[in-house]
Amino acid sequence: MILKLNNKYMEEYVPHFKFEKLQIWQKAMDFGEDIFSVSKAFPKDELFNLISQARRAADSIALNIAEGSISQSNPEYKKFLGYSIRSLAEVVTCLHKAVRRKYIDQDQFTKLYAEAFHLMNMMQAFKSKIKTSI
């Protein structure tokens, strides 16, 4: 894998944190970038409202997956995955607001909504596989 860091490419990047290997974390990272990109087209008067809310919630998905993966217990890990799922629901609500306000078109909404739904199903399935006993 090639990683770009400060405009320099690192030839070999080896993930050391277990969350970096998780498909749900990778998808959440991509989804966060998609939300960041689409929100660039929102009106500037939404900068401290919908733009900020959507971006923070989208980033929170991957952040909580990462934080939960280094938890001391499985129940705590599940709690952080729950936070991620709630953040995803928040992003979906922001997408509904954005399409209603005509900041994004129906095609953008449909694409992002489908990504969100797929990510939610992945996270729910992953969460259900974590044993609750310590």
Which domain CATH number covers 114? 1.20.1440.60
Q: How many domains does the chain have?
A: 1
The whole-model pTM stands at 0.88
Model confidence pLDDT, tens digit, residues 33-72 = 999 999 999 999 999 999 999 999 999 999 999 999 998 8
**Residue 130, token pair as written in the block:** 């974590």
Q: Which domain holds residue 50?
A: 19-129
Let me know: does 119 contact 88? Beta carbons within 8 Å.
Answer: yes
Let me know: does 65 contact 84? Beta carbons within 8 Å.
Answer: yes
Q: Which amino acid is at 84?
A: S
* Full DSSP string of 41-83: TS-GGGIIIIIHHHHHHHHHHHHHHHHHHT-SSHHHHHHHHHH
> Is the per-residue pLDDT at 132 higher than 80?
no
The reported pLDDT for the residue numbered 84 is 98
Model confidence pLDDT, tens digit, residues 69-120 = 998 899 999 999 999 999 999 999 999 999 999 999 999 999 999 999 999 9
